[in-house]
Structure 1
Amino acid sequence: MSLFLAFLGVSFIVIATPGPDTAITIRNTLLGGRAGGVSTALGIASGQTIWALATSAGIVALLVASEPLFLAVKYAGAAYLVYLGVKALQEALRPSHQAEALAVARPSRRLAAASAFRQGLISDLGNPKMAVFFASLLPQFVPPGGESFITLLGLGAVFAVMTFTWLALYATVVAKAGDFLRQPPIRRVIEGVTGMLLIGLGIRIATEHR
């Protein structure tokens, strides 16, 4: 039990630390309302569940050990974050007439739940830190003599549920202030800050060593 409680504590620290997942969830909540944010959170949690399954099957260990494969995931994920960041900056600096018109429209018309889910899923699967995290941290919380596959998968599922709950809470809070935050001047500032954050995170992921 103490080992599991330690896992919960470490997981909460990792989840609560702002990163790409948080930035994308906030932006998609502004674009698609609470449904957009929750769908993004569900996509992120689904990506983590896939990482957990791959870790349990030993696939993540092979990915981390293979430099070419690891770099491919790393650069693909970084490029996707930069792409989303550039799109956000474009809307902040030179918003289209359609975007301005939709700024005061129903958020659900601006971003479909399926698109939000896809962005969350791709963002998480393209984050190499998830591979390192699942491959290095989860095994430390497997009890001696325990069934590693089932235990690793269970811990990964718990981590994914915690992530979804935390990000869904973020989405709810942002959605509550949605009408205020979607006012064109404020929205453009948020788009600009989020865009720079996503680009910065993408560059950091691409350039940092393991």
Structure 2
Amino acid sequence: MSVWMGLVSFAAVAGLLTLVPGVDTALVLRAAIVRGTRHAFTTALGVGTGVLVWGAAAACGLSVLLTTSQLAYTVLRIAGAVYLVWLGVKTLVTLWRNRGSVDGIGADDSDASGGLLRAWARGAATNLLNPKVGVFYIAMLPQFIPPEAPHLAMGVALAVVHGIEGMLWFSVLIYGVQFTRTWVARPPVKRAMEAVTGSVLLAFGLKLAVSETP
């Protein structure tokens, strides 16, 4: 298998995975509806950063620990579960506390650079603390790396392909939200999205907490 064939084949597999809704999608949609385009794209870039790190780690063999060491997998799984549950509870609690305001939404993500940095960090952390992503890269990447290709460079290249596909899909979602901005900007819709996102994050966190196998 040539390098280009590996890239194209992986693009097809990763493209299908990208379209499957998950916690990353929920975060980006929530940012697009509640915080706006800048926060949504920044969150998506955070997710993409996590993808690049996982790709490099898998190519270097570092993330093999997730499949060879039950302890390593369990530690990352618990950390990811705690983080997702914390995000979900925080979102729901903030929504409840601000239920009497105009939007019913807290101000933890302002338009200042600090707010954008938090949006990026939230996207990156959510991706990096998900051991399922690491296991996917461990299982899939070796199949698309030709024996003669440099493993690190090829692994990063495959992760870049996945990241580009993710950004394209997130762009469709974000601009789709902007196309219906008049409707989604209504306070009831924002509150509903916060409630749904908080519940999804909480559910994903609890599911990850009880999932004991890679």
Partner of residue 135, structure 1: 138
Alpha-carbon separation, structure 2, partners of 1:178 and 1:123 = 26
1:177 aligned residue (176, 180, 185):
180
> What is residue 51 of structure 2 aligned with on the other side?
48
Match of 2:160 in 1: 157
**One-letter code aligned to 1:66:** S
Residue equivalent to 2:115? 112
How many Å apart are 1:124 and its aligned residue? 0.5
* Runs of at least 4 residues off by over 6 Å: none
Identity %: 29
Distance of 1:91 and 1:99 partners within structure 2: 14
Gaps of 5+ in 2: none
Q: What corresponds to 1:37 in structure 2? A: 40
1:188 equivalent in structure 2: 191
Say whether residues 1:24 and 2:31 are aligned partners.
no
Matches within 5 A, 1:1-16: 1-16=4-19
Instruction: State the Cα distance separating 1:169 from its structure 2 match.
Output: 2.4
- Residue 2 of structure 1, CA deviation: 4.3
Aligned mates of 1:2, 1:13 — CA distance in 2:
17
For residues 25 and 164 of structure 1, do their structure 2 counterparts lie closer, same or farther at Cα, with a shift above 3 Å needed? same
Q: What 5-or-longer segments of structure 1 have no aligned partner?
A: none
Aligned CA RMSD, in angstroms, stands at 2.3
8 Å contact kept, 1:60–1:135: yes
1:101 to 1:141, Cα distance in 2 relative to 1, 3 A: closer
Give the structure 2 partner of residue 86 of structure 1: 89
Given the alignment of the two structures, is residue 62 of structure 1 paired with residue 82 of structure 2, yes or no?
no
TM-score (norm 2): 0.86
1:102 Cα deviation after fit: 6.7
Indicate how the Cα distance of structure 1 residues 99 and 55 shifts in structure 2: closer, same or farther if over 3 A, else same: farther
Paired residue for 1:148?
151
Q: Report the TM-score when normalising by structure 1.
A: 0.87
The code of the aligned residue for 2:8 comes to: L
1:200 to 194, 198, 203: 203
